[in-house]
Structure 1
């Protein structure tokens, strides 16, 4: 699949976000950032939706 969920690297987060203890999950499709989520479950749900759409397009 071309959709991946990764936890954002601390080096790419603001000092304020780090101080607050924020965690961000990025969703990438074909190497492009397509979503950012504060909840890992939401990120994986979005990934599943994108993969479903990719599969539908591939079968058409």
Structure 2
């Protein structure tokens, strides 16, 4: 996994956590869902990159 991919996934995860926190604090369920979705996307991308890395070695 390249450094740029790691940074991009980490940024997406951080953005998702922030959205989820703000949504929870303001009772905005849609924003909270968006945050959870962003985090899930980041997790899936990380998993896919880990599988690619496993086949490279």
Shorter-normalised TM-score: what interval?
0.3 to 0.5
More helix by share: 2
TM-score (norm 2): 0.42
More strand by share: 1
TM-score (norm 1): 0.40
